[in-house]
Structure 1
């Protein structure tokens, strides 16, 4: 397991982390800054701090954006340390009933398929479906403890992506890749998967949909539900090993980072599983990363007509900071669209995970509205992000900020350009 005391003691209090910290930028409280977190974690490890409700609230206020890790001269994994202490918090205080229900459904795909289908049928009862600029979105008709009335959410699809296609799609190629679609792409933003299939058809790459894939476990991991995370991770690792595909692409930065980076951290106390997670990571690619580096998609796009559509690109924290991926989507999009860079594309959108979206929504909203200011100044037609969590967050705050710009996944724009 990660040694909290070692990380705490290694901090030299230089303050570089504070300048880029998402939560500190909002509330200007040294306690909820990276070095503040590390001081408290050290005190907790030394037995000088109890995990009372005040400490719980502090450790749950981190967005886990990893800005501090990137800025730290020692690259101290503040995010991993906080994720570690959240396990202790969940064991002491338990996990909220609504999170337990959500995590249970995410862990049982067949039942979630039925629930999603029922959700599609009855969603108009509790939500107003949006048919204007933010299509495929909805707002609650009344406020609930975890859903604010102002909140813009994605609608459930009539049929999940995985249930809409055969498991193996033969495009007449000599290469086959696996597609890990992610829960949001499977049940809400299904056009992401459809776009991947269009791109692969153009490239003549066969696609294995890996229909037994389980949730990556990111939502549970950030909440401290480590037992459920390990169960899902072990299932996915064994399943991917059996398929023995040369590459698995994921059009979701959070899912990709979870499997590629965090699975190794999850099994820090189970060496055999950690070794298997490390061996698997070389086969995992963010979708635009794979298409840019290992195919001739860039060349094909260059032969298509450029459009007048302008795009500003938001770098998901789990793409740029955790996986070093930011050039690849731009390389592909730049062939057909005009890219207008916002002031700080690397700034966290403020999604922050399930706890931030439910118990700390006021912080998430505030961080998101700071991001919309940058987006609006570009006057772009779209903002693009290879992450459905960022997409949901940005479309929500853009709607609150009365901005006509909406967020889409880059693979959707690329698929449109191919047509």
Structure 2
């Protein structure tokens, strides 16, 4: 570390957006350590929540400079917020790391390649049309025999660790992922119980398009009219997680305008999301955009949260057929720690007859996905991914239910070919109810 006296440099400014003394409640008790994913694989105090808090205090006191070495210990943080749930003193580490991340984007704190690679990811992932353009040439490769051959040969190692990690996460690319196929308004089936909007997500709509189709079909079958703006873009979760606040606010503002225009004078009861990483950022729009008036005019809710609160319709429950499978539910960090949602997905899964729900031993530990963490910190992420799939596989479940696209891609990468399959809870509900996902593409527009 590069310690220097306050006489050699002017005292650093306090971290933006934080009240004085926000780090003071930390008593260094160590309760956060077993829950911290980065500490789990690196084992160093500087890569733990309490170590980073101590570092922040030193920086604020002018005793330590934020140089590349110090910054690397913040870059090792996944932002999973498990430490927030575990802390008995109520330390808001989530606020601390969010205020620190914009500072980490200074050019001198990362190598030129690290800077370029992050910029490339943030120039592509949040923009569906760019992502489609990049992936279109790879459709014949992804999931095909050539990909299998290349991986077995070890040639992907020549790409370098970051690009090798990108290739390892690349799933088969379905044609449905390259076209926004939903009508603006999908009519409710049976008695209409409400009108909601649906956020499609960027990576999810491209890499796992059946999740959105299943979510829409389940909502429709439960009596909800669903509005899907055709021009909706990214919610800003990827850039938010990286401390790129200007890009995040721009994406958030565009998405709010898109839903406001699509909702029309009738409005929406709620804006729903089926990816927990997106949901966490969407729920922060009031703070990100300055005030609630610039945000959505209705609540933002995770789809599991919404359906558990409103209840499955009687006709939908009656349509659920036995699904004799064992399922291990994977708690995405931005769901359980970021939004406090845990029981709702499980209650929906338990509504499926004959489905057996099993619990992992370490449900609250991160899988290593964490936005783009598994791309920019591939070694640490791979260790965490392997630990997570081993924990989930020990349940003996044939299916892992994951409600976040990043987690799903991470789990699929590390699972054995003969291991459990990964599905979204909405897919399992749609399957049990016998819903045709193709019908959602041709539903009547209001």
- Classify the TM-score, shorter chain: 0.7 to 0.9
User: Which has more radius of gyration?
Assistant: 2
Give 2:442's aligned residue.
none
Counterparts of 2:314 and 2:39 in 1: how far apart (Å)? 39
Give 2:7's aligned residue.
none
Change (3 A) 1:371 1:139: farther
Counterparts of 2:19 and 2:60 in 1: how far apart (Å)? 7
Task: Map 1:179-194; keep pairs closer than 5 Å.
Answer: 179-194=198-213
User: What CA deviation, in whole Å up to 9, does each residue of 1:56-108 have, x standing for no partner?
Assistant: 21100011111111111232221331232221110344772233233223444
State the Cα distance separating 1:247 from its structure 2 match: 1.0
State the Cα distance separating 1:364 from its structure 2 match: 0.8
Give 2:288's aligned residue.
266
Confirm whether residue 255 of structure 1 aligns to residue 271 of structure 2: no
State the Cα distance separating 1:223 from its structure 2 match: 1.8
Change (3 A) 1:7 1:106: same
Q: Secondary structure at the match of 1:254?
A: helix
Consecutive unaligned residues of structure 2, counting only runs of 5 or more, are 1-15, 435-446
Give 1:363's aligned residue.
380
Confirm whether residue 395 of structure 1 aligns to residue 412 of structure 2: yes
Counterparts of 1:126 and 1:48 in 2: how far apart (Å)? 56
Change (3 A) 1:110 1:152: closer
Indicate conservation of the 8 Å contact 1:181/1:250, yes or no: yes
Counterparts of 1:140 and 1:156 in 2: how far apart (Å)? 22
User: What CA deviation, in whole Å up to 9, does each residue of 1:112-144 have, x standing for no partner?
Assistant: 4444444435657996169xxxxxx99996232
Change (3 A) 1:374 1:123: closer
Change (3 A) 1:207 1:313: same
Q: Secondary structure at the match of 2:272?
A: strand
Counterparts of 1:255 and 1:68 in 2: how far apart (Å)? 20
State the Cα distance separating 1:197 from its structure 2 match: 2.5
The RMSD of aligned alpha carbons is: 2.9
Counterparts of 1:339 and 1:107 in 2: how far apart (Å)? 34
Matched residues, number: 403
Task: Map 1:10-25; keep pairs closer than 5 Å.
Answer: 10-25=25-40
Give 2:363's aligned residue.
345
Give 1:333's aligned residue.
349
The normalised TM-score by structure 2 is: 0.82
State the Cα distance separating 1:9 from its structure 2 match: 2.6
Change (3 A) 1:253 1:281: farther
Counterparts of 2:142 and 2:218 in 1: how far apart (Å)? 31
State the Cα distance separating 1:12 from its structure 2 match: 1.8
Give 1:211's aligned residue.
230
Counterparts of 1:40 and 1:259 in 2: how far apart (Å)? 30
Give 2:217's aligned residue.
198
